[in-house]
Amino acid sequence: MVSNQFFEVFLLPVAAKELKRLPKKVQKKIREFLVKLNQPYIISAKKMKGTENTYRIRIGDYQVLYKIYTDELIVVIKKI
């Protein structure tokens, strides 16, 4: 586990579209969370069962699904 290095955060096109459709207040909360994802291992998210390095976290009424690629130091937002 790499906890002291910063990761780059990317949104898949489908996640970016979903984010744009949300109310502005919710968008702001999710964007604030995405900034924190540059250190994904300090966030207490739930690991998705049956997947490798895929996590989910609830923000208000919404969930953010993301996958951590430790070797490349990348976090990919898969779905909101």
How many domains does the chain divide into?
A: 1
Amino acid at 21: R
Residue 9 CA: distances (Å) to CA of 6, 49, 50, 75:
10, 22, 23, 5
- Whether 3 is in a domain gets the answer no
d(CA 68, CA 53): 5
Q: State residue 67 phi and psi, 5-degree precision.
A: -120, 135
Predicted local confidence at residue 24, as pLDDT: 95
CA atoms within 13 A of residue 15's CA, in its CB half-sphere: 19
CATH of the domain at 57: 3.30.2310.20
Domain assignment of residue 55, yes or no: yes
Residue 2 counted as domain residue: no
- 13 within some domain: yes
27 assigned to some structural domain: yes
Q: Is residue 1 part of a domain?
A: no
4-63 pLDDT, tens digit per residue, is 679 999 999 999 999 999 999 999 999 999 999 999 888 889 999 998 899 999 998 999
